């Protein structure tokens, strides 16, 4: 048998052994056997010195080739077996992915805050400032400068928590109209502001009344503001808060600080305008009061009503939240039951 | 006010359904609370003629009646009403009928006697008790003699009319009358309206010889009376009674009913006095004198106030002017001579009198808003005419007029340019002047200017803006275009304060707290808890309840109320924060200052128990971690430190810390005192409250980039025994001060004061991290620094290094 034949046979046998090896230990054993210093290939190579000088390099090359083949086969087999071991391990590690995730501590913004923020962001985008005023107000700002002198009958419309004769809990965010108008420098540009905040009425708390609730006042004063601008602005507000499908309609109303005064209705949430119990079959729900700022309000704040004018509106976030989510008891907003607070989690 | 659709149609040729008319009114004039047709929901209710009546054999109050209901055979109906009698025409609910409140009537037996239906009282077919004529309140109603048996009863009783309930705003007093409403509808529908005017047939003597009136004109700018003699009191004719009860008023007798009817028609409240009850022939309109009393028609006694306007005779008050008449001089059985009063009273006096005496009447409601001052005499004449026609009265010659100040109509100039500029419309001069004329105003046009003479009845219109409203609403708000303001640009940005307030909320939500909004008005006791500075309370002068009577001076107590509310509902894990104001008042100031605060409260566990995690009850250090993380978010400039506070009465004396920034106290955190927790009925609760305004005002640390060292860090752990009263802060401060140039951080990793340490001592263990930013640190340098700091700990704090 020539050396070459011996090598060929060695390769065949070696490859078969590698294939038969069943674990990493086996593979290692086979490697030592085949490629070790005392292994058959080393043996064969030792016999090379008996060959012709011409034959020697050829057989040498062949032997190297066989050694490489076997080494590759060993490496490949090793990898296969390692993979199998890993797979077995991973199979053992399988978990029930339907088990609940580990709870994380996470807080939610109050639903009314969410609505206020949404209104703020909308109006910030339209170039309005956001201003806040005192909750304990002077009668002067809450009423008198809003064109509600001391004996005005409309004062009976809103029951007021007085602290002294002249100091009260503000019943509306409207006093911020007067406070802002007094200060605004029209040479620097028009006045466009909203003023969100807490207001108070002398009411007994029940499902539809709360002695504390929220309002967002809006005010735009410039040289050429129209009632059509008011209508358009309220439309944008309704679309932002409720969706494009909601229409706005205006109805005459009465507020001492606006003239003309309107009440704004939007399409009923419950029936989409067809008429139902919620909207008393009208298809519409009253959501806010608005109007063109009364000249007396401008005058009292030192603004010339012959030059400047504009609109104001007052929105009730509590009412919006009640309508939008069907909240049936306004007290929910102020009792802070965690099961209530954590229902309004949608972001963005 | 409920206004009759049929009555409107007598004057205006309208071809609209009642609901559509109501909708139109709501869209153009005033709010409508509802439209009702009294016969709606009723079925098979007819006129019956009682042919005969016998006593029920087994009852002492039931009657067995044979009733002709227009069919071949009479019906036998058992009736318990005390006033049923043979020969009456009555209201019969037939078998299978439906009466008020959706009740079905079936054939039945009453104490053994078959009864085919029911003879009804007005209340049983839906009338409100307080409009039913007194004679029929406690029994069945008797229909007119000419009613035809078998006919539906609705038309006899005016029940097929539709009633539109107007919710009139304070400015539209004119709409509290048929005539006022007609004027508006004429403009809305652009139709002419023809109103009728009275023609009085006078008889007898001149009133001036029989009555003299003395008027304080400031109290009563107009005061007029007529005298009608020999009136015959009787029930009013059906048509008049129907008008009244459909408007929500009880028919009483022809004289009283006429005054109410005229009020509904003209909006002018009238009062009828029994002239013969006057003491003397002089009538005074004046304010009440101290000590004067009056018993009003409703038989209530009133102590009069010196600001009440009264009508008085020589002896004293006979009526509370504009509110309610007195009982003594009222129309009663036997009255033959009636003095009718038609007047205007100063609205403010009336409003206050109505409030003071808690008498809010149809009259006071109208005087408060103002009546049509141009129609006072007309209403008086119309009433006199009706008393002549319906009560056979002799109207004495003339009126006696105590005062007669009719205001001049308002004349307002407005330009078409202005109208379109404010409304955003493109109306023509013709459109605008037509709208104003259709409201009954006089308009003259000169160039761009309209000069408008406003009808006196519209006492709410004084300035151009008032006319704009009239034009806009009659033109229709639906027709207004919808645009957005144009003009000079403005920036819409949040202020620094507003941004920080938003960041505060987002930070605390990220830290696991839910936003609460609690009541700012609370009890005096709670208002004064958890005080961060001395302050007087701010109390409501007239609270609705003691639970909400004083303005809070802390936010935490409201959060504890919230936790109590949750706890009572078995919600044990609660984590809340609230951003809101507290109200501090200095003695001598009426008005408190308002300070923004931020507060939090946690109870139960923050991280709820789960299948793979045990519940971890809240503790001081969780709350401290939240506060620290929040203050880190706020990037306050300067060290945040925590100092024990043993003095807050509502807080656990050993588990409360003041929070300081750069040495300034901005609030506190810790455990609520167990006794306070018990008082609120809540479990162990940890809270914090910080002065948010102070945080907003503090200088802030801008974000900075610090190069992350490429060179390895070396750590050394150190454990030591120290006396119990040595604080972590002291140890860390010393290590930081003496740790050498390469010390990067000190981290506490163990605290132990169990059995293995001597009494009075505790074991603290820290990891010290060293790093050089510029080169690899040499071990020797670290060892040197570490040994040095260990020595200092031993020397300065008496630590035993272990
Ligand atoms: Zn609806």
How many C-beta neighbours within 10 Å does residue B217 have?
A: 14
Q: How far is CA A70 from CA A78, A297, B643, B696, B741, in A?
A: 12, 99, 75, 75, 59
Do A238 and A331 lie in one domain? The reply is yes
Tell me: pLDDT of B743 over 70.
yes
| Cβ–Cβ below 8 Å for A107 and B517 | no
B605: DSSP letter = B
DSSP-based three-state secondary structure for B144: coil
Residues B23 and A279: their CA atoms lie apart, in Å, by: 13
| Cβ–Cβ below 8 Å for A231 and B480 | yes
Q: B202-404, superfamily in CATH?
A: Phenylalanyl-trna Synthetase, Chain B, domain 3 (3.50.40.10)
Using an 8 Å CB-CB cutoff, list chain A residues near B540: 161-163, 169
Please state the separation of Cα B42 from the chain's center in Å.
35
| Cβ–Cβ below 8 Å for A338 and B574 | yes
Do A46 and A181 lie in one domain? The reply is no
Tell me the nearest-neighbour CA distance from A74 into chain B, angstroms.
40
A281 Cα–ligand 1 center, Å: 6
Tell me the nearest-neighbour CA distance from B588 into chain A, angstroms.
12
Tell me the nearest-neighbour CA distance from B27 into chain A, angstroms.
5
Q: B496-697, superfamily in CATH?
A: Bira Bifunctional Protein; Domain 2 (3.30.930.10)
Q: Which chain B residue is nearest to residue A237, measuring alpha carbons?
A: B484
Averaged pLDDT, A291-319? 96
Do A67 and A117 lie in one domain? The reply is no
| Cβ–Cβ below 8 Å for B591 and A136 | yes
Using an 8 Å CB-CB cutoff, list chain B residues near A151: 348, 351
Do A82 and A122 lie in one domain? The reply is no
Q: What is the pLDDT of residues B302-316, one digit of tens each?
A: 999 999 999 999 999
| Cβ–Cβ below 8 Å for B170 and A254 | yes
Domain that holds residue A69: 3-92
Q: Which of B187, B423, B476, B492 has the highest number of chain A CBs within 10 A, making it the mutation to test binding with A?
A: B492
Find the angle CA(B167)-CA(B173)-CA(B177) to the nearest 5 degrees: 80
Tell whether A172 is covered by a domain. yes
Q: Which of A135, A133, A151 is nearest to A143 (CA)?
A: A151
Contact B490, A125 (CB under 8 A): no
Banded model confidence at residue A246, pLDDT cuts 50, 70, 90: confident
| Cβ–Cβ below 8 Å for B590 and A164 | yes
Tell me: pLDDT of B21 over 60.
yes
Tokens encoding B334: 């036997």
B185 Cα–ligand 1 center, Å: 27
How many C-beta neighbours within 10 Å does residue B784 have?
A: 11
Q: What are phi and psi of B102, to 5 degrees?
A: 65, 30
Tell whether A105 is covered by a domain. no
| Cβ–Cβ below 8 Å for A337 and B517 | no
Banded model confidence at residue A1, pLDDT cuts 50, 70, 90: low
Contact B70, B148 (CB under 8 A): yes
Tell me: pLDDT of A156 over 70.
no
Tell whether A190 is covered by a domain. yes
Tell me: pLDDT of A13 over 60.
yes
Tell whether A225 is covered by a domain. yes
Q: Which of B403, B272, B398, B393 is nearest to B340 (CA)?
A: B272
Which residues fall within 8 angstroms of residue B93, CB to CB, at 6 or more apart? B44, B45, B99, B105, B117, B118, B119, B120, B124, B125
Using an 8 Å CB-CB cutoff, list chain A residues near B545: 204
Would the CA dihedral through A246, A321, A254, A234 be positive or negative? negative
Q: Where are the beta strands (DSSP E) in B645-684?
A: 651-661, 664-672
CATH class of the B8-32+166-189 domain in this structure:
alpha beta
B698: DSSP letter = S
B607: nearest CB among A105, A225, A227: A105
Do A177 and A117 lie in one domain? The reply is yes
Structure confidence at residue A9 (pLDDT): 85
A267 Cα–ligand 1 center, Å: 8
Burial of B120 by CB count in 10 Å (0-12 exposed, 13-18 middle, 19+ buried)?
A: buried
A222: nearest CB among B368, B424, B487: B487
Averaged pLDDT, A133-152? 93
Pick from A92, A126, A159: which residue ends a domain?
A92
Q: Where are the beta strands (DSSP E) in B630-756?
A: 640-644, 651-661, 664-672, 685-691, 714-723, 743-752
Using an 8 Å CB-CB cutoff, list chain B residues near A223: 487
Tell me the nearest-neighbour CA distance from A121 into chain B, angstroms.
9
Tell me: pLDDT of A157 over 70.
no
Q: Enumerate the β-bridge partners of residue B75.
A: B67
**Residue range B714-801, CATH number:** 3.30.70.380
Q: What is the pLDDT of residues B629-650, one digit of tens each?
A: 999 999 998 899 999 999 999 9
Cis ω before B424 (30° cut-off from 0): no
Q: Across the beta sheet with B163-167, what order do the strands follow?
A: B2-4, B163-167, B31-36
Q: What are phi and psi of A257, to 5 degrees?
A: -95, 0
Structure confidence at residue A190 (pLDDT): 96
A151: nearest CB among B348, B498, B517: B348
Q: Which of A318, A336, A343, A348 has the highest number of chain B CBs within 10 A, making it the mutation to test binding with B?
A: A336
Tell whether A106 is covered by a domain. no
Tell whether A122 is covered by a domain. yes
Averaged pLDDT, B538-546? 93
- Residue scoring higher pLDDT (A4 or B428): B428
Using an 8 Å CB-CB cutoff, list chain A residues near B487: 190, 222-225
**Residue range B411-479, CATH number:** 3.30.56.10
Do A88 and A116 lie in one domain? The reply is no
Structure confidence at residue B127 (pLDDT): 96
| Cβ–Cβ below 8 Å for B520 and A135 | yes
Residues A124 and A191: their CA atoms lie apart, in Å, by: 13
Do A123 and A61 lie in one domain? The reply is no
Averaged pLDDT, B451-479? 96
Same fold for the domain at B43-157 and the one at B714-801?
Answer: no
| Cβ–Cβ below 8 Å for A130 and B498 | yes
Beta-carbon neighbours within 5 Å of ion ligand 1: A 268, 270-271, 276, 278-279
Do A193 and A285 lie in one domain? The reply is yes
A259 is in an annotated binding site: yes
Tell me: pLDDT of B653 over 70.
yes
Residues B223 and B354: their CA atoms lie apart, in Å, by: 20
Listed by start position, the domains of chain B span: 8-32+166-189, 43-157, 202-404, 411-479, 496-697, 714-801
Q: What is the pLDDT of residues B132-162, one digit of tens each?
A: 999 999 999 999 999 999 999 999 999 999 9
Q: Which residues of B184-214 are buried (b: 16+ CB within 10 A; e: fewer)?
A: bbbbbbeeebeeeebebebeeeebeebbebe
Q: Number of H helices and number of E strands within chain A? A: 12, 9
- DSSP letters of A142-174? HTGGGT--TT-GGGGGS---BSSSSEEE-SSST
| Cβ–Cβ below 8 Å for B485 and A129 | no
Pick from A92, A126, A160: which residue ends a domain?
A92
Would the CA dihedral through B384, B388, B393, B397 be positive or negative? positive
CATH topology of domain B43-157: OB fold (Dihydrolipoamide Acetyltransferase, E2P) (2.40.50)
DSSP-based three-state secondary structure for B523: coil
Tell whether A206 is covered by a domain. yes
Least confident of B15-19, B207-211, B534-538, B664-668: B207-211
Do A171 and A315 lie in one domain? The reply is yes
B541: DSSP letter = S
Residues B141 and B91: their CA atoms lie apart, in Å, by: 7
| Cβ–Cβ below 8 Å for A335 and B488 | no
Total domains, chain A:
2
What number of C-beta contacts closer than 8 Å exist between A and B? 261
CATH number of residue A122's parent domain: 3.30.930.10
Q: What is the pLDDT of residues A24-65, one digit of tens each?
A: 888 888 888 888 887 777 777 777 777 788 888 888 888 888
Do A115 and A43 lie in one domain? The reply is no
A163: nearest CB among B422, B487, B538: B538
- DSSP letters of B39-107? TTT-EEEEEEEEEEEEE-TT-SS-EEEEEE-SSSSPEEEEE--TT--TT-EEEEEEEEEEEGGGEEE--
Element (H, E) at A83: helix A55-92
A327 Cα–ligand 1 center, Å: 15
Banded model confidence at residue A242, pLDDT cuts 50, 70, 90: confident
Tell me: pLDDT of A199 over 70.
yes
Do A62 and A193 lie in one domain? The reply is no
- ipTM of the shown complex: 0.89
Q: What is the pLDDT of residues A64-112, one digit of tens each?
A: 888 888 889 889 999 999 999 999 999 999 999 999 998 888 999 999 9
- Residue scoring higher pLDDT (A190 or B487): A190
Tell me: pLDDT of B567 over 70.
yes
Which value, in Å, is the radius of gyration of the alpha carbons in chain B? 42
Tokens encoding A313: 């509106």
Please state the separation of Cα A22 from the chain's center in Å.
56
Using an 8 Å CB-CB cutoff, list chain A residues near B606: 105
Banded model confidence at residue B279, pLDDT cuts 50, 70, 90: very high
Do A330 and A250 lie in one domain? The reply is yes
Percent of chain B residues topping a pLDDT of 90 = 91
Mean per-residue pLDDT over chain A, rounded: 91
Residues B689 and B554: their CA atoms lie apart, in Å, by: 8
Q: Which residue has the tokens 């009264």?
A: B310
| Cβ–Cβ below 8 Å for B544 and A103 | no
Residues A320 and A323: their CA atoms lie apart, in Å, by: 5
B469 Cα–ligand 1 center, Å: 28
Structure confidence at residue A158 (pLDDT): 60
DSSP-based three-state secondary structure for B693: helix
């Amino acid at each position: 048998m020539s050396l070459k034949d011996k090598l060929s046979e060695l390769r065949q046998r070696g490859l078969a052994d590698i294939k038969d090896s069943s674990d990493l230990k086996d593979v290692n054993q086979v490697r030592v056997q085949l490629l070790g210093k005392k292994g058959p290939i080393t043996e064969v190579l030792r016999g090379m010195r008996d060959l012709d000088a011409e034959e020697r390099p050829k057989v040498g090359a062949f032997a190297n080739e066989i050694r490489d083949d076997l080494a590759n086969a060993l490496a490949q087999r090793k990898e296969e077996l390692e993979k199998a071991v890993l797979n077995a391990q991973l199979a053992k590690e399988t978990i029930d992915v339907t088990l609940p995730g580990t709870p994380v501590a996470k807080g939610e913004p109050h639903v009314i805050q969410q609505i206020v923020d949404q209104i703020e962001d909308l109006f910030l985008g339209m170039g309005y400032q956001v201003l806040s005023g005192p909750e304990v107000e002077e009668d002067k700002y809450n009423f008198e400068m809003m064109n509600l002198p001391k004996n005005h009958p409309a004062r009976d419309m809103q029951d007021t928590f007085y602290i002294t004769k002249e100091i009260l809990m503000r019943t509306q965010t409207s006093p911020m109209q007067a406070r802002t108008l007094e200060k605004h420098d029209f040479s620097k540009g028009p006045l466009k502001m909203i003023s969100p905040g807490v207001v108070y009425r002398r009411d007994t708390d029940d499902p539809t009344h709360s002695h504390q609730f929220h309002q967002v006042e809006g005010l735009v004063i410039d040289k050429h503001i129209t009632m059509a601008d008011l209508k358009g602005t309220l439309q944008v507000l309704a679309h932002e808060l409720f969706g494009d499908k909601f229409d706005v309609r205006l109805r005459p109303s009465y507020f001492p600080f606006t003239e003309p005064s309107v009440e704004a209705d939007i399409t009923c949430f419950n029936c989409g305008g067809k008429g139902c119990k919620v909207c008393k079959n009208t298809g519409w729900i009253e959501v806010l009061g608005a109007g063109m700022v009364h000249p007396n309000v401008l005058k009292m704040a030192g603004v010339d009503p012959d030059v400047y004018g504009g609109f104001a509106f007052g929105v009730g976030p509590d009412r919006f939240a009640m309508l939008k989510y069907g909240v049936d008891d306004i007290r929910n907003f102020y009792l802070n039951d965690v099961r209530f607070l954590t229902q309004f989690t949608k972001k963005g | 006010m409920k206004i009759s659709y049929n009555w409107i149609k007598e004057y205006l040729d309208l071809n609209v359904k009642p609901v559509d008319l109501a909708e139109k009114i709501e869209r153009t004039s005033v709010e409508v609370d509802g439209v009702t047709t009294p016969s709606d929901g009723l079925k098979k209710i007819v006129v019956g003629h009682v042919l005969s009546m016998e006593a029920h054999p087994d009852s002492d109050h039931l009657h067995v009646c044979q009733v002709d209901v227009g069919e071949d055979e009479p019906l036998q109906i058992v009736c318990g009403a005390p006033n049923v009698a043979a020969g009456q025409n009555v209201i019969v609910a037939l078998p299978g009928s439906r009466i008020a409140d959706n009740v079905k009537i079936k054939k039945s037996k009453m104490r053994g006697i078959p009864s085919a239906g029911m003879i009804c009282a007005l209340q049983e077919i839906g009338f409100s008790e307080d409009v039913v004529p007194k004679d029929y309140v406690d029994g069945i109603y008797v229909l007119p003699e000419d009613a035809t048996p078998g006919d539906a009863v609705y038309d006899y009783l005016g029940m097929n009319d539709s009633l539109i309930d107007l919710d009139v705003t304070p400015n539209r007093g004119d709409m509290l009358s048929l005539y006022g409403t007609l004027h508006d509808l004429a403009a809305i529908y652009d139709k002419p309206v023809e109103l009728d005017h009275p023609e009085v047939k006078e008889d007898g003597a001149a009133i001036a010889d029989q009555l003299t009136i003395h008027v304080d004109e400031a109290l009563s700018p107009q005061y007029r009376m007529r005298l009608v003699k020999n009136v015959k009191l009787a029930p009013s004719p059906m048509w008049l009674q129907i008008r009244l009860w459909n408007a929500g008023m009880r028919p009483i007798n022809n004289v009283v009913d006429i005054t109410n009817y005229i009020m509904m028609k003209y909006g002018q409240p009238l009062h009828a006095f029994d002239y013969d009850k006057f003491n003397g022939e002089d009538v005074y309109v004046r304010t009440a004198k101290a000590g004067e009393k009056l018993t009003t028609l409703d038989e209530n006694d009133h102590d009069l106030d010196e600001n009440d306007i009264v009508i008085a005779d020589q002896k004293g008050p006979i009526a509370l002017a504009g509110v309610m008449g007195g009982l003594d001089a009222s129309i009663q059985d036997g009255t033959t001579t009636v003095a009718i009063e038609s007047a205007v009273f100063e609205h403010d006096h009336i409003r206050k009198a109505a409030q003071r005496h808690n008498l809010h009447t149809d009259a006071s409601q109208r005087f408060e808003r103002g009546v049509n001052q141009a129609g006072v005499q007309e209403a008086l004449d119309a009433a006199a005419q009706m008393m002549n026609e319906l009560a056979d009265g002799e109207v004495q010659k003339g009126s006696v007029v105590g005062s007669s100040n009719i205001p001049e109509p308002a004349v307002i100039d407005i330009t078409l340019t202005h109208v379109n500029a404010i409304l955003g419309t493109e109306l023509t001069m013709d459109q605008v002047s037509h709208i104003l004329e259709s409201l009954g105003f006089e308009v003259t046009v000169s160039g761009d200017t309209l000069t408008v003479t406003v009808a006196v009845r519209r006492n709410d219109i004084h300035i151009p803006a008032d006319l704009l409203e009239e034009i806009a609403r009659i033109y229709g708000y639906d027709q207004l275009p919808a645009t957005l303001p144009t003009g000079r640009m403005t920036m819409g940005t949040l202020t620094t304060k507003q941004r920080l307030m938003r960041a505060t909320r987002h930070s605390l939500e990220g830290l696991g707290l839910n936003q609460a909004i609690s009541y700012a008005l609370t009890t005096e006791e709670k208002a004064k808890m958890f005080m961060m500075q001395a302050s007087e309370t701010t109390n409501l002068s007239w609270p609705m309840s003691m639970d909400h009577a004083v303005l809070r001076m802390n936010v935490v107590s409201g959060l504890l109320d919230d936790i109590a509310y949750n706890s009572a509902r078995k919600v044990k894990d609660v984590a809340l924060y609230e951003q809101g104001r507290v109200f501090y008042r200095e003695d001598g100031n009426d008005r408190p200052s308002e300070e923004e605060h931020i507060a939090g409260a946690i109870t139960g566990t923050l991280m709820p128990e789960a299948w793979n995690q045990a519940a971890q009850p809240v503790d001081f250090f969780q709350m401290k971690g939240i506060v620290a993380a929040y203050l880190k978010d706020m990037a306050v400039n300067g060290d945040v430190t925590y100092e024990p506070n043993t003095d807050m009465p509502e807080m656990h004396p050993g588990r409360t810390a003041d929070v300081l920034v750069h040495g300034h106290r901005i609030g506190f955190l810790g455990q609520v005192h167990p006794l306070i927790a018990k008082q609120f009925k809540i479990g162990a609760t940890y809270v914090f409250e910080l002065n948010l305004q102070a945080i907003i005002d503090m200088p802030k640390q801008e974000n900075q980039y610090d190069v992350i060292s490429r060179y390895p860090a070396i750590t050394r752990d150190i454990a030591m025994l120290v006396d119990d009263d040595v604080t972590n802060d002291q140890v860390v401060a010393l290590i930081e001060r003496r740790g050498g140039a390469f010390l990067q951080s000190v981290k506490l990793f163990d605290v132990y004061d169990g059995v293995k340490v001597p009494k009075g001592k505790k074991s603290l263990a820290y990891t010290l991290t060293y790093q050089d930013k510029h080169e690899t640190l040499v071990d020797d340098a670290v060892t040197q620094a570490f040994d040095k700091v260990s020595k200092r700990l031993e020397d300065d704090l008496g630590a035993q290094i272990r």
